[in-house]
Chain A
Amino acid sequence: MNCVVILQLYKRFRRVNYYTFLIEAHDKTEAEKFFNKFEGMKQMEEDLNELATWIQVIGDEYGAMPRYFRFENEAEALPPYIEKNNLRLYVCRLSEGVVVLANGGIKNGLRVQDCEELMPHFGFANKMAKQLRIMMGRGEIKIKGKEIINHEEIVLNI
């Protein structure tokens, strides 16, 4: 499928800028879809609060260090290892200051392949991460501190 994806700034913190993907013709960004999906779900509230706080504290105080992410092929996921949190938010960590949030869901199986809800988001994040890294390698994407300086012009394909 040839569909255009645009990068958008989602939330700015002192040390990290979180960007997200907006798929052409969709009214919500991928990050917004993820947080919207679980906001208001009582059984997921604690996991969601923990994840949101963690994103904030890393963003404000420590930076997006690799040890804070779970590696998922080309992409990464949040939260990093934790016994009781089954939420998975797929992301593309581009530097200590730039993270692009994708979508995700609940991991209710041993492998991502066993989770119907997660698999499309895992696939999307990996496709995006691969393209972003290739573009970074070619110099088509430039990162300065915590900014993607030409993100308005970046177009990715699904």
Chain B
Amino acid sequence: MNTLEKIIKRTPVKTKRRVQRNLAIAERIHQLLQHKGMSQKDLAQKMGKQPSEICKWLTGLHNFEIKTIENIELALEEDIIEVTKSVHIQLPKPDNIKIDEPHLWAVAEKEVKYITGKQTPGKRKK
């Protein structure tokens, strides 16, 4: 393993996520500019910025603020980032929650199986 590989391996996840996100945003802006036939200079003019500022954004190492992204979205009339709307909820396992009466968990589990269709209504105990 060479030193670059060692550094990559021990780099904290938060640094990796930041670099990945910033590069993804830069790529999205670059693609939108290409798609719309706009130059960096056009975007700079539309946003009242210096072209050098746009150039910095497209290097993928700029730390974007949300308000900057909003302004770019307005200038390009396209979304740059999307926020996930649905939330995946996972039920806790019985070992991870405190239930004074264990039979309550069994009842709850059966209800969940019934609701999610894993148990047929005919087999449901009333």
CB contact list, A61-95 vs B, under 8 A:
61-62, 67-68, 79-82, 85
Complexed CA–CA distance, A54 and B16 (Å): 8
| A62, B5: Cα distance in complex, Å | 19
**Interface pair B58/A67, CB less than 8 Å apart:** yes
Count B interface residues, CB 8 Å: 24
Cβ of A32 and Cβ of B2 under 8 Å apart? yes
Q: Among A45-53, A115-123, A124-132, which stretch is in contact with chain B?
A: A45-53
Cβ of B8 under 8 Å from chain A:
yes
Q: Are A50 and B2 in contact (CB under 8 A)?
A: no
Interface SS of A by simple majority: helix
A31, B7: Cα distance in complex, Å: 13
Residue of B nearest to A49 (CB): B11
- Out of A39, A52, A54, name the residue touching B61 (CB < 8 Å): A54
A39 to B3, Cβ gap below 8 A?
yes
B6 touching A39 by the CB < 8 A rule? yes
A79 to B30, CA, bound (A): 18
- Cβ contact of B11, chosen from A52, A67, A80, A85, cutoff 8 A: A52
Task: Say whether B4 contacts A53, CB under 8 Å.
Answer: no
Complex interface residues of chain B between 8 and 34 (CB less than 8 A to chain A) = 8, 11-12, 15-16, 18-20, 23, 27, 30
What are the residues of chain B within 8 A of A80 when measuring CB–CB?
59-61
Which one of A10, A18, A57 contacts B19 once the chains associate, using CB atoms below 8 Å? Answer: A57
Complex Cα–Cα for A158 and B17 (A): 39
A11 within 8 A of B: yes
Residues of B within 8 A of A82 (CB): 56, 59, 61-62
For B20, what are the chain A residues with a Cβ–Cβ distance below 8 Å?
A: 53, 57
| B15/A68 in contact, CB under 8 A | no
User: Contact: B19 with A50, CB < 8 Å?
Assistant: yes
Knowing A54-B60, A80-B60, A81-B61, say if A36 contacts B3 (CB, 8 Å).
yes
7 contacts across the A-B interface (CB closer than 8 A): A32-B3, A49-B7, A49-B12, A50-B18, A53-B20, A61-B23, A80-B61
7 A-B pairs closest in CB distance: A80-B59, A35-B3, A52-B7, A49-B11, A82-B61, A53-B19, A49-B15
